[in-house]
Amino acid sequence: MIEISKTFTISCAHILPQHPGKCSRLHGHNYTIEVAVEGEVGGDGMVMDFDALNDLVKTLIVDRFDHKFILPTGNAFVRRDSVYWYVNVPKQGEVRIPVNMCAPIVIKESTAELLTLEFHKILSAHAALTYLGLRVRVWETEKCYAEIC
Ligand SMILES: [Zn+2]
């Protein structure tokens, strides 16, 4: 078995409304997403063409989230109308973001851990990756990452 890996970078804004510290303030990260695929080397000498992996991750993750506000739709402090998403931050106020600037995602908080689980779910549901071992690591900063183990 061989593992191949490619990294991607997305810049996103987010907020953790219930966080007791500074993460309850609007801020952003340049997330690095490592996507690794494990499999047998095929007749073409590859586990998977890096270009194919690139196209998949770009379509399913990068294009959806890059330069957007990550909006955790499963959070009780989040609501929307036809024009805006609203994030109510206790004791601080409400943040209002135009719907077209948001990347809604069905998670409770936009933590690195939950983003990792969701990115893995999105990618592993694609037919090209279903039968290969898939590993996803999301770096929130240069020093902090989450990975399914
Ligand atoms: Zn953050």
Q: Is 33 inside a domain boundary?
A: yes
Ligand 1 centroid to 140 CA: how many Å? 7
Q: Is 91 inside a domain boundary?
A: no
The domain that holds 32 is classified in CATH as: 3.30.479.10
Q: Is 40 inside a domain boundary?
A: yes
d(C-alpha 16, C-alpha 29), whole Å:
13
Domain tally, the chain: 1
Q: Is 97 inside a domain boundary?
A: no
- By percentage, how much of the chain surpasses pLDDT 90? 92
Give the residue numbers spanning the domain of 113. 2-72+102-147
Mean pLDDT taken over the chain: 95
Q: Is 12 inside a domain boundary?
A: yes
Q: Is 128 inside a domain boundary?
A: yes
Smallest CA-to-CA distance from 86 within 107, 67, 61, 104 is with 104
Residue range 64-122, pLDDT digits in tens: 999 999 999 999 999 999 999 999 999 889 999 999 999 999 999 999 999 999 999 99
Ligand 1 centroid to 17 CA: how many Å? 11
Please indicate, yes or no, whether the overall pTM of this predicted structure exceeds 0.75. yes
Q: Give the residue carrying structure tokens 């402090």.
A: 77
Q: Is 78 inside a domain boundary?
A: no
Active-site amino acid positions:
23, 67, 140
Could you tell me the strand order of the sheet in which 68-72 lies?
Answer: 102-105, 68-72, 2-14, 27-39, 133-139, 145-147
Q: Is 86 inside a domain boundary?
A: no
Ligand 1 centroid to 63 CA: how many Å? 20
Judged by DSSP in three states, 75 sits in coil
pLDDT level of residue 128 (50, 70, 90 thresholds): confident
